Amino acid sequence: MINCDNEILYRVLRQYWGYDEFLPWQKEAMECVLTLRDSVVILPTGGGKSLCFQVPAMCMSGMALVVSPLISLMKDQVDSLKNAGVPAAFINSSMSSEEHRSCLADIRQDRIKILYIAPERLVMDSFIELLKQTKLSFIAVDEAHCISMWGHDFRPEYRELKTLKEVFPNINIHSYTATATELVCHDICKELNLISPKILTGSFDRPNLTYRIKHRDNVFDQICSVITNHNSESGIIYCIRRTDVDNLCSRLNQKGYKALPYHAGMMDQARRENQEAFINDRVDVIVATVAFGMGIDKSNVRYVIHAGMPKSLEHYQQETGRAGRDGLESECCLFFSYSDLMAWQRIMGDSDSETGKIALNKLNDMYNFCIDTTCRHRAILTYFGQRLDTQNCGACDACLEEPELMIDSIVIAQKIISCVVRLKNSDKGASSFGSAYIGRVLTGSRDQRILQASHDKLSTWGILTSEGKQNIRIWIEQLVMQGYLKRDDEYKTISVSEKGWCVIKNNETPRLTKPLKIHPERSLPQIATWEGVDNGLFNTLRVLRRNLAEEQNVPAYIVFGDSALKDMAMRRPSNLKEFLNVNGVGQKKWEIYGDIFVKAIVDYCTTNSIEMDTMPAPVITKASGNSSLSGVKPLAFELFSQGCSVNEAADKLDRATSTVFGYLEEYIRQEKLTSPAPWVDEKTFHLILEAADKVGVDRLKPIFDSLNGEISYDLIRISRACVG
């Protein structure tokens, strides 16, 4: 067993990566490596999975072997490690014969601490023989969900890794992934033959991401609206088909945006050049199929747009997870329609096989997620077997009350539920029916089956003819998800729940979205600026970073991530000693870039008469381990009791301002405050109260509209908390 000294871990983390603290579960994952215990580590994208094996590799003797599925992932990781001063390498098909021989020589002479390898090469007899002659510290399997047929990205070649325990019985294996349900986790342990593995699961929640999901009408205008709100920031747009990628990219460039395409139908060289242009900040937007992005460690993606529905919640979680990897506030917008469901079913083809049935179930779960009217963060966590410890996430369209809900939801719901009841009580036919059949009855279909069962004689036949099949289908699914209707797991038939009878009796009102129609797209709210950060200096440092990255032919984020530049623009260090305190500046980067960046900071501050060496307010360290929202909330309440502003609390808690507004709303209700001061001034509070008196306090949007959109939803929320 290796000496598991936390001081060693902290020292290595600071020396090579420039961080003073671990993210949740990182230290525990590293301790598994050092104490020679197999492990499965499940952390969200941006949760720092790579450091879980990279840091202990630098604390142990021998070479760590990392199994990775993509060449681009290997190159990015190795470039980043070398830039931090870590002796790392990869072996894959992109190397020349000379590079391959040189790497093998470095392995034999113990000059490499971390080696990245593809699963296919790892099980080759010749490579196994080389490894047997090499001192291995451990084996890390990255993107481990690929080993499971229950995962969203199953790769048969990963199954061959089960022989590793036979070939290297004394070497521990550690697996890492961002997306794994309990079933996938079990499969990983089984297929890798892990021995009494420690399973560490972090929260799947990404509180810095704001999710917005809307029906697709004029999708080009909808996409442009998002891009405009993120002017000159990096973003990814995902499309289902290659032709959609090419067409959308062409239209965006005609409109003046800088965009490049990426899909499997392009030549390898063109794909590689476009990817590098995006990674190196030479182009703002990449339009791609899902072929783009796996393992691309670009930290400053500020938005991800889906121009069509992904085929599973695992894919959605992984693809949206490419936004905000630096922990800064980012936006995820999905524009969908029922046709996406049909398109994916055609692409998937055979659904009778076991894997086909799994894929179809995941597709249906994804569609239901899109049409849901409840908290997106909570829905994602529930899918992965977790829970959200707050009633309002403050960072999704549902909690921000952006979806347009029907005023007469209860009337529509009663008509649908009554139809289910009458079908069940009808003399002829089966006792219950599926959603498609119910929808046909409600729209007045003269389908032969309906006529033969005399269901055209029911009082509910045709009572929703004017609403259309698609809207009714959506409402039925929304009633199922809210528990007013029940769906049989085996036969998919619909019945009324006990909760549904409360709707019939007018005791409960479901949340149903307004019927689909073409309407002008509303502008999405602007992302807030960072308090204390000099934006001019931040942009100056971005240009410097890009120029240095181009000189070195590496991605810009390998020089420094946005979070490091943000910290520089907040602290504004005037000398090398202060520069070393910047979050994300390790020893190697301090030596390479310190003089260059300090000079740029001093020049900018001197020219603009700006104070330097301004330490930001102390940040409350995230607790290691299960750092849930409930653990942060008491700290937030303490800050509010001291009169902290929302922006000050957000900085200290390392949370998005939208999340902190949610904490503040709960704090006001808990303390039963009757005034929102000091967070809302008296005049604004008075205007909100006047509007609430006219339109009521039940919903935010009528108050927002009554105020002509001049007062933010956040201020309305916390003001309403004082009177609601």
pLDDT tens digit sequence for 90-129: 998 778 888 889 999 999 999 999 999 988 888 788 888 8
State the pLDDT at residue 640: 80
Of the candidates 312, 374, 314, the residue with the CA atom closest to the CA atom of residue 340: 312
Instruction: Specify the CATH class of 409-504 in words.
Output: mainly alpha
| Rounded Cα–Cα distance for residues 98 and 457 (Å) | 81
pLDDT band at 723 (very low <50, low <70, confident <90, very high): low
Rounded to whole angstroms, the Cα distance separating 658 from 395 reads 6
User: pLDDT digits over 123-143, tens only?
Assistant: 788 888 889 989 999 999 998
Q: Is 548 helix (H, G, I), strand (E, B) or coil?
A: helix
Q: What is the pLDDT of residue 354?
A: 73
Radius of gyration of the chain (CA): 27
Domains 6-201 and 209-383 share a fold: yes
Task: Please tell me the pTM assigned to this model.
Answer: 0.59
pLDDT at 530: 59
Give pLDDT, residue 691.
79
Q: Which helix (H) or strand (E) holds 400?
A: none
Q: Of the candidates 153, 152, 196, which has an alpha carbon nearest to the alpha carbon of residue 173? A: 196
Higher pLDDT, 178 or 355: 178
Instruction: Give the architecture-level CATH label for domain 209-383.
Output: 3-Layer(aba) Sandwich (3.40)
- 431 falls in which pLDDT band (50, 70, 90)? low
Q: What confidence tens digit (pLDDT) does each residue in 362-409 have?
A: 888 898 898 888 899 999 988 888 888 787 888 998 888 777 777 778
Largest CA distance in the chain: 87
- Pairing outcome for strands 494-496 and 485-487: antiparallel
- Output the pLDDT for position 297: 65
Q: Does domain 6-201 have CATH number 3.40.50.300?
A: yes
Least confident stretch, 490-494, 600-604, 704-708, 719-723:
490-494
Under 8 Å between Cβ of 224 and 305: no
Confidence category of residue 37, pLDDT binned at 50, 70, 90: very high
Kindly report whether the peptide bond that precedes residue 678 is cis, defined as omega within 30 degrees of 0.
Answer: yes
**Helix, strand or coil for residue 45?**
coil
Q: Do residues 121 and 92 make contact, with C-beta atoms less than 8 angstroms apart?
A: yes
Residue boundaries of the structural domains of the chain: 6-201, 209-383, 409-504, 535-607, 629-723
Q: Which stretch of 138-142, 336-340, 353-357, 511-515 has the lowest confidence by average pLDDT?
A: 353-357
- 335 bridge partner residues: 214
What rounded mean pLDDT belongs to the chain?
83
Residues 6+ apart with CB under 8 A from 611: 572, 605
Q: How many CB atoms lie within 10 A of CB 35?
A: 15
Whether 492 shows a pLDDT value over 80: the answer reads no
Is pLDDT larger for residue 390 or for residue 559?
A: 559
Checking if the pLDDT of 324 tops 80, the result is yes
116 or 144: which leads in pLDDT: 116
Q: What span, in angstroms and rounded, lies between the C-alpha atoms of 65 and 118?
A: 10
Q: In one letter, which amino acid is 115?
A: L
Check whether 428 has a pLDDT greater than 70. no
Task: Give Cα 661 distance to the centre of its chain.
Answer: 21
pLDDT band at 146 (very low <50, low <70, confident <90, very high): confident
- What was the pLDDT predicted at 352? 64
CA nearest to 211, candidates 440, 398, 362? 398
| DSSP element (H, E) containing 160 | none
- Protein fold of 535-607: DNA polymerase; domain 1 (1.10.150)
pLDDT at 702 over 80: no
Q: Is the pLDDT of residue 697 over 80?
A: no
Name the H helices within 372-408: 376-383
H or E element: which one contains 129?
helix 125-132
Quickly state the pLDDT bin for 172 (edges 50, 70, 90).
very high
- pLDDT over 80 (residue 151): no
Q: Among 22-31, 220-229, 481-490, 511-520, name the one with the lowest average pLDDT.
A: 511-520
What is the enclosing helix (H) or strand (E) of 61? Answer: none
Judged against a pLDDT cut of 60, whether residue 173 lies above it is answered with: yes
Query: Helix, strand, coil shares of the chain as percentages rounded to 5?
Result: 50, 10, 40
Please return the burial class of 15, using the count of CB atoms within 10 Å of its CB with bins 0-12, 13-18 and 19+. middle
- The amino acid present at 635, given as its one-letter code, is L
* Partners of residue 287 on adjacent β-strands: 237, 261
Classify strands 259-262 and 494-496 as parallel, antiparallel or unpaired: unpaired
Mean pLDDT of the region 672-698: 78
Choice among 93-102, 248-257, 629-638, 672-681 with the minimum mean pLDDT: 629-638
- 370 vs 294, more confident: 370
pLDDT band at 627 (very low <50, low <70, confident <90, very high): very low
Instruction: Name, in order, each residue with C-beta under 8 angstroms of 324's C-beta and a sequence gap of 6 or more.
Output: 46, 206, 208, 209, 301, 302, 330
CA distance 334 to 370: 8
Q: Which SS3 state, helix, strand or coil, does residue 559 take?
A: helix
Percent of the chain residues topping a pLDDT of 90: 25
pLDDT computed for residue 528 by the predictor? 38
User: How is residue 433 annotated by DSSP?
Assistant: B
**Residue 662 burial (CB count, 10 A):** 26
The secondary structure element, H or E, covering residue 40 is strand 39-42
Name the band, by pLDDT with cuts 50, 70 and 90, for residue 524: very low
Beta-ladder partners of 114: 64, 88
Work out the pLDDT band at 619, boundaries 50, 70, 90: very low
**353 CB-near residues (< 8 Å, 6+ apart):** none
Edge-first strand listing for the sheet containing 114-117: 88-91, 114-117, 63-67, 136-141, 173-177, 39-42, 198-201
Q: How confident is the model at residue 429 (pLDDT cuts 50, 70, 90)?
A: very low
